[in-house]
Amino acid sequence: MSRRLTLLLCLALVLLAATPSGAGTLAVSWTAPVTNVNGSPLSDLASYRVYYGTSNPPCPGAAFLPMASSTPSPPANQTVAATLTGLSTGTLYYIAVTAVDTSGSESACSPAASAVARVDFAVSPTGTVNFGSVTVGNSADQTYTVQNTVGGTVAGTASTSAPFSIFSGGSFSLVGVGASQTVTVRFTPTTATTSVASVNFTANGGALSRSVTGTGMANLNPTPAISSLTPASVAAGGAAFTLAVNGTGFVSGITATVGGAVRTVSFVSGTQLRVGVLAADVAARGTVNVVVTNPGPCVATGCVSNPGALNVRPGRGSQ
């Protein structure tokens, strides 16, 4: 293998402006060797090694892409191509190629070529996208636009992590310069906290990442309102009884006081409660206020209802 002809190496590149938040690629092509240095036909070609690095020369070196040969005897003028991925976009790289025979012997390095790593697509917006405050259990959407910047076909995917998800456009295939597609990202918070994640776009071996953030907001209970009591009036000195409290905005877990003292509540619906009234609550005539309180957090007007007036009228033997 050490006698094999030096490989001819060229780069098939379109140079792009640097994009710091991405993994770049380089498309590399070369002409396959067909003879040994002594002129005998090449018949035992096994693979190539594509060396790359930011220093010149890159070959020999620790960083290389192994690539199997399609044939042990390449035809004349066969072009071989490879794509280097995971490079730092906007960084100048040097590339050289060697050939390896079936016994593992490696040829001398080809002349080095150089180019700046690129990405084949752009994603906008480029800054952090804020979904704002979203009530737990609800969702909000934001969109990105992926665009082909170099021509040909740019095919890839978009992904992210919970509580964010790709709602639509998770796979894309953009044919031609300027072709674009919308990717919709959905934020569905499950807890009342601020979440930060990345939306990752990968295509043709390149990658771009965008930051997203959103705040989950706890469900806010309404302020309860009492419209009527049943019965609305009782005789003083009577026995304990169950009071029906009618109104709106009642939620499970609601509490009640009768004359300022906490009493047992049975939740019936969002418009009715059952409250246990003790004999001591209606022992004397007058007005006894009934107040109910929803568990928090509640809307800006609070968790406490207006007072419902229970009229305690004079009864037999009452003062």
pLDDT in single tens digits along all 319 residues of the chain: 444 444 443 333 332 333 334 567 788 888 888 877 777 888 889 999 999 999 999 999 999 999 999 999 999 888 888 888 778 877 899 999 988 888 888 888 888 888 888 778 899 999 999 999 998 889 999 999 999 987 888 899 999 999 999 999 999 999 998 999 999 999 999 999 999 999 999 988 778 899 999 999 988 899 999 999 999 999 999 999 999 999 999 999 999 999 999 999 999 999 999 999 999 999 999 999 999 999 988 888 999 999 999 999 997 654 4
Domain final residue pick, 186, 217, 248 = 217
**Which pTM does this prediction carry?**
0.56
Contacts 24+ apart (CB under 8 A), 122-128: 122/19, 122/146, 122/147, 122/149, 122/208, 123/147, 123/201, 123/208, 123/210, 125/210, 126/21, 126/210, 127/211, 128/210, 128/211, 128/212, 128/213
1 in a structural domain: no
User: Same structural domain for residues 112 and 125?
Assistant: no
Domains contained in the chain, number: 3
Tokens of 34: 């067909």
104 in a structural domain: yes
User: Same structural domain for residues 294 and 205?
Assistant: no
319 in a structural domain: no
Instruction: For residue 20, say if its preceding peptide bond is cis, omega within 30 degrees of 0.
Output: no
CATH for 261: 2.60.40.10
Q: Which residue has the tokens 């191509």?
A: 81
User: Same structural domain for residues 57 and 20?
Assistant: yes
Domain final residue pick, 217, 250, 278 = 217
Q: Which domain, by its residues, includes 100?
A: 8-116
User: Same structural domain for residues 91 and 131?
Assistant: no
Domain final residue pick, 86, 116, 146 = 116
Quote the CA–CA distance of 178 and 174 in Å, as a whole number: 8
User: Same structural domain for residues 207 and 251?
Assistant: no
